[in-house]
Amino acid sequence: MGDFLKQFKFFGLVLGLLSIIIIYFMYNALKPKERLPVYQPSMVNPELVDSTLHDTKKYHTIANFELINQNGDTITEKDYENSIYIADFFFTTCPSICPIMTKNMAEIQGSILEDKDIRLLSHSVTPKIDSVAQLKKYALEKGVIDTKWNLVTGDKKQIYELARKSYLAVKNDGDGGPFDMIHTENFMLIDKERRIRGFYDGTNTEEIEKLLEDLQILKRSYNN
């Protein structure tokens, strides 16, 4: 009788363990996968969107571009092909939000050093001042790693159009003239299809943590 009870108890434990395993796998199979939104102009604050794009509800992607980085190399959208990247807009002589943004971007750089799929892209909004030499000096001061992070300068009108019409990042158009300047604290998360997957305040530590979490969600979506 004692042996029978022991066998019954053992069988019960095994059955219970199998039940837990089955429930676990069923839960994971049925649980909705975390997915990031694909931002379209119609989903974004209209103040951040050029009037020509207000009614755009799908197919919005980052436009082609051709700019120059801190090493004097030409950087285009092809350099970010098949990459997830984080973009922002800054200038090297900014005394207010840019130092905080650059510090936070450098911390992001540190967290993605071993990940070949993720890169960074910072656009100067004062390209006349931010020459290649100035960007290189800034890059060395801030610990920019060339293989991970491009600081780019170039045609001001093109940069401003990218900010307003592609990245949906700023409230004013800017005419590309010598005296106007756009300014934004936004970091944008861009996927491999050049679509916007998130907006974050680049001066806010909690927002940076959220960006890093979303980055992993986006990465998993490709792994799956």
- For residue 105 the two structure tokens come to 């971007």
Q: What is the mean pLDDT of residues 141-154?
A: 97
Using 50, 70 and 90 to split pLDDT, how confident is the model at 22?
low
Using 50, 70 and 90 to split pLDDT, how confident is the model at 54?
confident
For residue range 64-78, what is the model confidence (pLDDT) as tens digits? 999 999 999 999 999
Q: Quick check: 200 and 108 in contact, CB under 8 A? A: no
Q: What is the mean pLDDT of residues 49-71?
A: 93
Q: In the prediction, which pLDDT does 127 show?
A: 95
Which residue pairs, CB below 8 angstroms and at least 24 apart, start in 68-74?
68/132, 68/152, 68/153, 68/154, 69/132, 69/135, 69/146, 69/150, 69/151, 69/152, 70/132, 70/135, 70/136, 70/138, 70/139, 70/144, 70/146, 70/150, 70/151, 71/132, 71/136, 71/146, 72/132
Using 50, 70 and 90 to split pLDDT, how confident is the model at 12?
low
How many C-beta neighbours within 10 Å does residue 189 have? 23
Q: In the prediction, which pLDDT does 37 show?
A: 96
Please report, for the chain, the start and end positions of each structural domain, with discontinuous segments joined by +: 41-223
Fold classified for 41-223: Glutaredoxin (3.40.30)
Sequence-distant (≥ 6) Cβ neighbours of residue 132 within 8 angstroms: 68, 69, 70, 71, 72, 153
- Which range is most confident: 25-39, 108-122, 158-172? 108-122
For residue range 76-122, what is the model confidence (pLDDT) as tens digits? 999 999 999 999 999 999 998 999 999 999 999 999 999 999 999 99
Output the pTM of the full model.
0.83
**Single-letter amino acid code for the residue at 185:** E
Q: CA–CA separation, 64 vs 77, rounded Å? A: 6
